């Protein structure tokens, strides 16, 4: 009997409340000491031969009959307003089928309402000005040069610290701090903790932008035929792309199909539809032919997203025995011109170590630079740099082993929620790592420079914290065939992490079948729904769905066999 369940889910440093429909009965958790036949055993990737043999079809391998090529004209200015745009010469160029811009394109809101699909105000180098669709890639690129644009160049700000000063140029009308205010957290009394400290350290850390450069660049192929739209997209969330594209172009979701059977990496930058996806769909509707828009490597640098640069200041207080008395943390994340959610810099300072007195003050700051995107533990990686450098400096001041300092401040429960961890083995990881690399035999004093003097050889360590949990709902179908093979259908996506293999193993375990007797199909919104593949949640979300469907198939099979044999199912 389906039931609605309200749940709290930790996702990329944020707690979200969701209401989901749950079907089927709860399954008992597999014990950690369970002796599995397939799960947990090394197996070849089920799609490995397709990948290495060139048979895997990625979005960039899709060339539907009659396909046109799209190219995007991008802003050369950090901040400008389009005073005049004339696309006439481009429209008349040989091979060109359509030109889209703010003049003729539908007014579609973008960046959570902070901009338009084609916005007359451009806020970073790389912002979309216009798009050309032509018979081939060269014709489309050449036609971009024929578009005449007069820009009113406006003042800009690219530094986060400058952007929060009084009188700074506004990137967004509501102000340069995402959400309108700083994010603040406090527990205990930090000022008292600093006074009680026998040793203190302070430092400032600056981390740079890290650009997303997936092996397969961002891109989509759209084919709008009649009242149905098919999109091939290199994405981490086919159902999210379907929802966003359907809303943007005014189609019901059941008229939009998104396919991504293989994708060449995303790392957080492909969590939803891009402007290029919607532009390709609109161009396909206008031209009545499939349209392909795939980023060049230069565009991947300009518009694919990034881990944002940061500036952080941290102060630690501790007793002589290494136990922390205070953590005082301040951080700015330069999230570029647009961003939907804050970058959670405060996570590691308030969560990683057991400390009674913690204060954090952080802000995600708009600047006239390329927009930030989720990037492998967003916010936590940058903040870990500052925190762990400070812990190293503290260990040096105390004359203690850096590992011992961390062990003395090991957190046995979540420091913010006050709840025990469902699974945490950091202490064991410390011990195993130390044994594996001969940590106790290292030379703790700085090594002599080598080569040209800019490098030293040595041994160091750092800690990281990152949550991972399932995100219901996820659905799967399992069919057992008369020849003893089985089919699994689930609408998730394998972003290169091996999800297809792991889910196949789960089905094989339940059905007592070899892995090669199971065919798993994914990457298609015509399959049962699955959530976003991000935040370390894919197997935790989809694994139980596959297991539940396989258990149900097994039960039906045993019941049918028992009936035929006039025996009890076991």
Q: Are residues 219 and 201 in the same domain?
A: no
Average pLDDT of 427-455?
90
- With cut-offs at 50, 70 and 90, classify the pLDDT of residue 75: very high
Say yes or no to pLDDT of 8 above 90: no
pLDDT at 433 over 80: yes
Report, as an integer, the average pLDDT of 239-260: 98
The DSSP secondary-structure symbol of 33 reads T
| pLDDT of res. 51 | 94
3 state DSSP class of 444: coil
Partners of 358 in the β-ladder = 187, 327
Number of domains comprising the chain? 4
Per residue in 306-319, pLDDT tens?
999 999 999 999 99
Domain presence at residue 488: yes
DSSP-assigned beta bridge partners for residue 336:
366
Q: What is the pLDDT of residue 469?
A: 74
CB atoms within 10 A of CB 383: 33
- Is the domain of 181 the same as that of 218? no
Residues 335 and 277 in one domain: no
In a domain, 48, yes or no: no
Residue 26 pLDDT exceeds 90: no
In the predicted structure, residue 405 carries a pLDDT above the cut 90: yes
pLDDT of residue 564: 87
Q: pTM of the prediction?
A: 0.93
Same domain for 98 and 219? no
Q: Whose CA is closest to 538, among 568, 483, 498?
A: 498
Let me know: does 358 contact 324? Beta carbons within 8 Å. Answer: no
391, 381: one domain? yes
Residues 257 and 356 both lie in one domain: no
**Is 279 part of a structural domain of the chain?**
yes
Can you tell me the mean pLDDT for 249-258?
98
Considering the domain architecture, whether residues 190 and 329 belong to the same structural domain is answered as yes
Q: CA–CA separation, 490 vs 476, rounded Å?
A: 5
Q: Determine the pLDDT at residue 65.
A: 98
Percent of the chain with pLDDT over 90: 82
DSSP string, 40-73: TS----TTHHHHHTT----GGG---TT-EEEEEE
Residue-wise pLDDT tens digits, 471-486 = 778 999 999 999 999 9
Is the N-terminal amide bond of 473 cis, ω within 30° of 0?
yes
Q: Domain check: are 85 and 192 in the same one?
A: no
On the question of pLDDT at 9 being above 80, the answer is no
CA angle 312/16/246 to nearest 5° reads 105
pLDDT at 13 over 70: no
Say if 474 falls within a structural domain: yes
Which of 284, 304, 324 is a domain's end point?
304
SS (H, E, C) 251-317: CCHHHEEEECCCCCCCCCCCCCCCHHHHHHHHHHHHHCCCEEEECCHHHHHHHCCEECCEEEEEEEE
Which of 304, 325, 352 terminates a domain? The answer is 304
**Per-residue pLDDT band at 449 (split at 50, 70, 90):** confident
Domain presence at residue 10: yes
Domain that holds residue 481: 3-35+469-565
User: Could you tell me if 325 and 391 lie in one domain?
Assistant: yes
pLDDT for the residue 456: 86
Query: Residue 432 domain-assigned?
Result: no
Residue 231 lies in a domain: yes
pLDDT in tens, 492-538: 999 999 999 999 999 999 999 999 999 999 999 999 999 999 988 89
CATH code at position 76: 3.90.1170.50
Domain boundary residue among 253, 285, 304?
A: 304
Q: What is the pLDDT of residues 107-165, one digit of tens each?
A: 999 998 999 999 999 999 999 999 999 999 999 999 999 999 999 999 999 999 999 99
Per the model's pLDDT, the better-predicted residue between 250 and 23 turns out to be 250
With cut-offs at 50, 70 and 90, classify the pLDDT of residue 370: very high
Burial status of residue 428 (CB atoms within 10 A of its CB: 0-12, 13-18, 19 or more):
exposed
Q: What is the pLDDT of residue 24?
A: 66
- How confident is the model over 33-57, as a mean pLDDT? 94
What pLDDT sits at residue 468? 76
Q: Are residues 218 and 140 in the same domain?
A: no
Least confident of 102-106, 338-342, 521-525: 338-342
Residues 552 and 496 in one domain: yes
Least confident interval from 74-83, 167-176, 554-563: 554-563
Asked if 489 and 560 sit in the same domain, the reply is yes
CATH of the domain at 503: 3.30.365.10
Provide the pLDDT for residue 10.
62
- Residue 167, in any domain of the structure: no
């Amino acid at each position: 009997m389906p039931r609605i369940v309200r749940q709290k889910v930790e996702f990329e440093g944020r707690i979200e409340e969701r209401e989901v429909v749950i079907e089927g009965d709860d399954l008992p958790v597999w014990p950690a000491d369970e002796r599995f036949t397939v799960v947990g055993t090394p197996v070849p990737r089920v799609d490995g031969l397709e990948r290495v043999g060139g048979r895997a079809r990625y979005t960039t391998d899709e060339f539907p009959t009659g396909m046109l090529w799209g190219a995007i004209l991008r802003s050369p200015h950090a901040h400008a307003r389009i005073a005049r745009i004339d696309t006439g010469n481009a429209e008349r160029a040989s091979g060109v089928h359509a030109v889209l811009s703010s003049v003729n394109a539908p007014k579609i809101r973008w960046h959570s309402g902070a901009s338009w699909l084609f916005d007359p105000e451009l806020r970073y180098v790389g912002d979309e000005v216009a798009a050309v669709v032509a018979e081939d890639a060269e014709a489309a690129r050449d036609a971009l040069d024929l578009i005449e644009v007069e820009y009113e160049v406006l003042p800009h700000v690219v530094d986060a610290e400058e952007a929060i000063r009084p009188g700074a140029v506004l990137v967004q009308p509501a102000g340069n701090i995402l959400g309108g205010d700083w994010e603040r957290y406090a527990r205990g009394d930090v000022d008292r903790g600093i006074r009680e400290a026998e040793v203190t350290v302070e430092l400032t850390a600056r981390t740079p932008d890290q650009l997303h450069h997936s092996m397969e660049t961002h891109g989509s192929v759209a084919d709008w035929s009649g009242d149905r739209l098919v999109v091939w997209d290199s994405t981490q969330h086919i159902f999210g792309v379907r929802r966003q594209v359907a809303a943007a172009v005014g189609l019901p979701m059941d008229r939009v199909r998104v396919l991504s059977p293989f994708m060449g990496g995303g790392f957080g930058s492909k969590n939803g539809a891009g402007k290029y996806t919607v532009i390709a769909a609109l161009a396909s509707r206008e031209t009545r032919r499939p349209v392909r828009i795939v980023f060049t490597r230069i565009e991947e640098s300009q518009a694919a997203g990034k881990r944002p640069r940061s500036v952080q200041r941290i102060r630690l207080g501790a007793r002589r025995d290494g136990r922390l008395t205070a953590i005082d943390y301040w951080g700015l994340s330069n999230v570029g011109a647009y961003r939907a959610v804050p970058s959670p810099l405060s996570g590691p300072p308030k969560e990683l170590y057991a400390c009674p007195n913690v204060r954090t003050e952080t802000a995600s700051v708009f600047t006239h630079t390329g927009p930030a995107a989720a990037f492998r533990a967003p916010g936590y990686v940058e903040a870990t740099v500052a925190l762990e450098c400070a812990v190293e400096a503290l260990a040096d001041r105390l004359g203690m082993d850096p590992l011992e300092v961390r062990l003395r401040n090991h957190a046995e429960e979540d420091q913010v929620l006050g709840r025990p961890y469902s699974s945490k083995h950091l202490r064991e990881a410390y011990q195993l790592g130390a044994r594996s690399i001969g940590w106790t035999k290292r030379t703790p004093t700085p090594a002599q420079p080598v080569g040209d003097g800019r490098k030293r050889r040595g041994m160091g360590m750092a800690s990281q914290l990152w949550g991972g949990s399932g995100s219901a709902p996820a659905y799967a179908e399992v069919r057992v065939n008369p020849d003893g093979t089985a089919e699994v259908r689930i609408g998730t996506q394998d972003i290169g992490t091996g999800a297809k293999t792991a889910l196949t193993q789960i089905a094989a375990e339940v059905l007592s079948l070899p892995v090669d007797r199971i065919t798993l199909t994914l990457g298609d919104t015509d399959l049962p729904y699955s959530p976003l593949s991000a935040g370390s949640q894919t197997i935790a979300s989809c694994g139980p769905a596959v297991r539940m469907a396989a258990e149900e198939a097994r039960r039906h099979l045993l019941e049918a066999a028992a009936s035929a044999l006039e025996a009890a199912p076991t």
